[in-house]
A and B are shown apart, each in its own frame.
Chain A
Amino acid sequence: QVHLQESGPGLVKSSQTLSLSCNVSGDSISSRDHYWSWVRRPPGKGLEWIGSIYYSGSVYYSPSLKSRITISVDTSRDQFALKMMSVTTADTALYYCARVRVSITGTTQFETWGQGVMVTVSS
């Protein structure tokens, strides 16, 4: 049974860089059938996709965030990470990592999620 666990500071100052990690257990991050993703949910708002990465390093970013984010993968440690620069209070949210099944048939399923980590950006 795959398990994902987010980690990182719960409080970040405005204009600084937010850094989160997701540890994957019960599955290899080098799985050919999966991408590894970050999703967030700001207070009072809906889910927002941040970006996804394949074990090879191929990455997709949200157009609205791509200028500020970097997602990386460490296959030796079965971890992937998110860095978000120049954060503002609008980046305050619950951040989730997720395993995503993708196939050539067009399916994209966020099939397994971590429990989430609350990140507050202070002004």
Chain B
Amino acid sequence: QSVLTQPPSVSAAPGQKVTISCSGDDSNIGTNHVSWYQHLPGAAPKLLIYDYTERPSGIPDRFSGSKSDTSATLGITGLQTGDEGDYYCGTWDSGLDAYVFGSGTTVAVL
């Protein structure tokens, strides 16, 4: 059971938008920066967003991040079939003294 809670799944039609929430508390999201990772079938996980809102070089601006208090959100616009896979938030938890990943959300393109 992860300390970071995500919805198990989200879905939308191609071209539409989905948002994925990540809920934590003051010892993790409230204190430390959140990253988002994409894990597609058969591929290595990939960093999509770091420091709540920043995109690494090469990540399209269809992916965006935001933060509010002890929650973070990943947005994906212009949904493509190639976006189908699992998405995880992650951050350091100062109480556990450990890095924690969210429970994971599966994105399906209808």
Chain A interface (Cβ within 8 Å of chain B)?
Answer: 37, 39, 41, 46-49, 52, 60, 62-63, 96, 98, 101, 105-111, 113-116
Which residue of chain A has the shortest Cβ distance to B91 in the bound complex? A108
Report how far A52 CA is from B90 CA in the complex, Å: 14
Q: How large, as a class, is the contact surface on chain B? A: 20 to 34
Best-surrounded residue of A39, A52, A110, A115 (most CB of chain B within 10 A): A110
Residue numbers in A under 8 Å from B47 (CB-CB)? 109-111
Asked if residues B98 and A47 are in contact (CB atoms below 8 Å), the reply is no
Q: Which of B33, B44, B56, B100 contacts A49 (CB 8 A)?
A: B100
Contact A96–B32 (Cβ < 8 Å): no
Q: Which residues of B have CB within 8 Å of A108?
A: 32-33, 35, 90-92, 99
Give the residues in chain B near A60, CB-CB below 8 Å: 97-99
| Contact among B51, B88, B98 for A46, CB-based, below 8 A | B88
Interface residues of B (CB under 8 A from A): 2, 31-33, 35, 37, 39, 44-47, 50-51, 56, 86, 88, 90-92, 96-104
A49 touches B91 (CB 8 A): no
Expressed in whole angstroms, the Cα–Cα distance for A47 and B37 within the complex equals 10
Enumerate chain A residues within 8 angstroms of B86, measured Cβ to Cβ: 46
Q: Output the residue of B86, B101, B104 with the most chain A CB within 10 A.
A: B101
B51 touches A49 (CB 8 A): no
Chain B: minimal CB distance from A11 (Å): 21
Q: Interface centre among A46, A63, A115, by most B CB within 10 Å?
A: A46
Q: Is A110's CB under 8 angstroms from B35's CB?
A: yes
Give 4 closest A-B pairs by Cβ, nearest first.
A46-B104, A113-B44, A49-B99, A109-B50
